[in-house]
């Protein structure tokens, strides 16, 4: 059966002491549950410390927010998948709309990052999502299909089974506008049917598909209760331990 995951993407927020404090509070106010995975995704600079802080909690895994599209060598400022693996990171978030938009990451760049992550035994949280114009023109299904076909659907079945998909409508990220649970379920069901067509039902049934975009304590329960929604990728609300742990307990 597929895993339920609640992942906190801190983005470029928090200083060192607030990051340590947040981790401490999250660990204190949650208990290990077999079927739920908590994922914390701090900025690179705090990753190693957060890995160490969570070592006694096998249900809490750590994600990098990005990785280099290159293996190693003369790439000033970059962090390789091999380095991430060597400090105990478990996941890499790839394809987030902020990286596509502000750092011009193309499908080819995303594919390089995915391949390098998988070859270094890192799992991938792969984000997809349409913008408001595409949604208003009723192009959202087409856009998501295209984003998946140009990237993760090129993987072998074995490699695809290491991918978690996060559906994040761009118009809902950081805006306070959440997709309704019907809108989210409709897209998650569509993504699952695409996985069945591209691979098979077994792989589709076992793929975790997260929702992201203004998910908060007040709407998490309704969103997570939908059949094809297996948890969330949480931005703003993952920076406050009370909000994040309340979202975790909604699953």
Residue 53 or 168 with smaller CB distance to ligand PGA: 168
Measured from the CB atom, the residue of 231 and 235 that comes closer to ligand PGA is: 235
- SS3 of 137-202: the string is CCCHHHHHHHHHHCCHHHCCHHHHCCEEEEECCHHHCCCCCCCCHHHHHHHHHHHHHHHHHHCCHH
> By CB under 6 A, is residue 235 in contact with ligand PGA?
yes
Which residues, at least 6 apart from 136, have a Cβ–Cβ distance to it below 8 Å?
none
- What is the nearest approach in angstroms of ligand PGA to the Cβ of residue 235? 2
Sign of CA pseudo-dihedral 136, 208, 35, 62: negative
Among 112, 204, 208, 214, binds ligand PGA (CB under 6 A): 214
Residue pair 219/189 in contact (Cβ under 8 Å)? The answer is no
Out of 4, 5, 9, 165, the only residue in the binding site for ligand PGA (CB under 6 A) is 9
Least distance (Å) between residue 184 CB and ligand PGA:
13
140 is catalytic: no
233: which DSSP letter? E
Counting contacts by CB under 6 A, is residue 92 touching ligand PGA?
no
Q: How far is the CB of 93 from ligand PGA (least distance, A)?
A: 8
Q: Work out whether strand 91-94 and strand 231-234 pair parallel, antiparallel, or are unpaired.
A: unpaired
| Binding residues with ligand PGA: total (CB under 6 A) | 13
Q: Does 42 bind ligand PGA (CB under 6 A)?
A: no
Please check whether residue 236 is in contact with residue 212, taking contact to mean a CB–CB distance below 8 angstroms. Answer: no
Question: Does 170 help bind ligand PGA (rule: CB under 6 A)?
Answer: no
Phi, psi of 99 (to 5 degrees): -75, -40
Shortest distance, CB of residue 53 to ligand PGA, whole angstroms? 22
Does residue 165 belong to the site contacting ligand PGA (CB under 6 A)? no
Helix (H, G, I), strand (E, B) or coil at 60: strand
Count the residues in the chain.
251
Least CB distance from residue 100 to ligand PGA, whole Å?
12
Of the listed 142, 168, 188, 226, which one is catalytic?
A: 168
65 or 198: CB nearest ligand PGA: 65
**212 counts as binding ligand PGA under rule CB under 6 A:** yes
- 142 carries an active-site annotation: no
Across 197-236, b (16+ Cβ under 10 Å) vs e yields ebbeeebbeebbbbbbbbbbbebbeebbebebbbbbbbbb
| Residue 95 or 213 with smaller CB distance to ligand PGA | 213
Query: Quick one: 160 or 211, whose CB is closer to ligand PGA?
Result: 211
Residues in contact with ligand PGA by CB under 6 A are: 9, 168, 173-174, 212-215, 233-237
Q: Which residues are catalytic?
A: 96, 168
């Amino acid at each position: 059966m597929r895993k339920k995951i609640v992942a906190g993407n801190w983005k470029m927020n928090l200083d060192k002491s607030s990051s340590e404090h947040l981790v401490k509070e999250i660990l204190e106010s949650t208990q290990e549950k077999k079927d739920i995975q908590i994922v914390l995704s701090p900025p690179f600079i705090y990753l190693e410390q957060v890995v160490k802080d969570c070592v006694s909690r096998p249900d809490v895994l750590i994600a990098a927010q990005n990785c280099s599209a290159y293996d190693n060598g003369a790439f000033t400022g970059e962090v390789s998948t091999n380095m991430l693996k060597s400090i105990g990171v478990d996941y890499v978030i790839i394809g987030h709309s902020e990286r596509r938009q502000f750092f011009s990451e193309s499908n080819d760049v995303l594919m390089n990052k995915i391949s390098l992550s998988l070859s270094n035994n890192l799992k991938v949280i792969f984000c997809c999502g349409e913008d408001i114009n595409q949604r208003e023109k009723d192009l959202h299904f087409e856009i998501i299909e295209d984003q998946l076909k140009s990237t993760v659907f090129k993987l072998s079945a074995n490699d695809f089974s290491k991918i978690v998909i996060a559906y994040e409508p761009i118009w809902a990220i950081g805006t306070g506008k959440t997709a309704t649970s019907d809108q989210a379920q409709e897209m998650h069901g569509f993504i699952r049917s695409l996985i069945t067509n591209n691979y098979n039902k077994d792989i589709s049934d076992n793929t975790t598909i997260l929702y992201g975009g203004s998910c908060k304590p007040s709407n998490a329960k309704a969103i997570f209760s939908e059949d094809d929604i297996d948890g969330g990728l949480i931005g703003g609300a993952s920076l406050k331990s009370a909000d994040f742990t309340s979202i975790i307990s909604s699953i």
